[in-house]
Structure 1
């Protein structure tokens, strides 16, 4: 009897040890199984969130670029739809549009710099590439040629003096063009070149000297083009006062959307005392056509995107063409950076063990940046070196 009891106790002890080892090894095995399964699930989720955000960024920026980089509201909805169409572990993720009505300083309508969809522009497509969430993005680019041909000394305002041609532009209008005379650092003070406001600028109304713009003067009597002009699209303002009636800058202004691609007109302003340092007037050396280029008159064109109403400027200095008796300035501008979109998100990964234990172990995060190629009309992913939000 004693031996039987001893054997029974020994068997029970071995069975207890086996159960203990089973519990220990079973726990380790279950933990190892959960870890492996969660890692595999996380790997799959990471691939799927990358694909979802890649498609969202590409679709959103393509829609934005094709629309002329206007409002970002519809492109954001497109980005949301493409994200939802690419579920993560079988569950559709719905990002926030991150949209707010655009205001100065926030032209792209980003409610937050850290939202799921952030619209902006990249400065180039070659390293180093910078994404700017507050930068203007535009595919619009315009070309302007300004030629001055007047052969006299310029005191009068001859409407045939200056030809302003808007050669090309996509979704662009010209709001104004400013001409600034150089400031001389020598000679008597009264030798500064100036535009005379007392001599009204003149715009040619002869058929064939203008196109696409209403050149009616401000009043039906003796023609002048003072601002505002209730009759036509053109008016002039004088800036940078030197002395009464004398200004360094004259600006020709155009009514909203009136001066667009392929439009042109001829006009003239009273230019006085343009010459080298130390020159004592009168008369102006050479003729106005040569002098504007010889002595460095500058032009500044203010472009406006007709879709976004965002403005930009381009500047150039007139170049003298002595053989032709003219000076000419050619300007290209109006475009912002390449349209670009960031799609970014962090989502919880719901694996098998997560569901069993009711605890979320892992999250999957991803960020994709796509830009719109204005030349080809295609969208592509891009690697950015720096992201800024001024």
Structure 2
């Protein structure tokens, strides 16, 4: 029989808060957490707003030697992983190292660390960089550090597909479980907030330059002007079902289907993503999950906030679901877009929605843009089938979709 992969632990470190409960409160209340960038002075940039993790102290989550070797992006990963392991009731150090693995998503790597070292190289008299520059910026740094610290010696890896990577990471975790690894750490965090990282994102022309946090990031809205960058994300404990049940673990839900496609076309200034390939990823994920479009309770979309991309995404969703799409909800306007961390955060939102028996209202749009007509969830609602479809697109043509089935809420969850 094919092994079944379930989520038994959720660790959130995001603008919505530290911990799954803090994130869920932000989503449920619709509280906006974007604001002025404080990690550096953004005065010379058209985009000066972002989503930052409030009051995050790296020293509380990693050892001093780890802090000097790694970037804030990895520090966020340390925190999210520790929270996920604790939530799953698993120890800090793996008791069976080769039965545990870590597969996270990554994209831009250690931005703040690299910025500091490059400024030291070109702006200081020594014209040198520190010894840890060679590893701290590296896109696989978080996976390597977590593997060492938590003794996760199973088949480890890194998925790089920009925002789609958060879903690809979970899909790969399911494959690892089916191949015999009982516990896999998956998901992703990001910190794209440094002068160099912001300049790179501005080059795409997709960032919002609106100065009002309440109006800057408005996906599917007539006033859409681009996205706001964000740090953070979510990390999960993905576990083989029998292994989880044998130790009495709480199960949030099962990862039942996934798919990834690619546009196979260069992204230019007028690109909007290929809705045909995007819809194909959604259909494949549903087919592999063994559910029809009519069974989907909730869709969490990519929600880029760029008019042409939003129309393209709406077209893909209508292609899959016809003229009766399921409820659509996004919390990204509240937090900003954390690239691979953002799609992982959407998975956390879906799992928490089923745990709390509440589908959360969407954070917009206020005025639906032409071509973006979907069934945006305007009020909280109880789930029906407990099936969610999470969708994400990565810059330069990546498309991913993930289907998950939420576990029924327990009496303990109701008491929470």
Superposed pair shares fold, TM > 0.5: no
Structure with bigger strand share is: 1
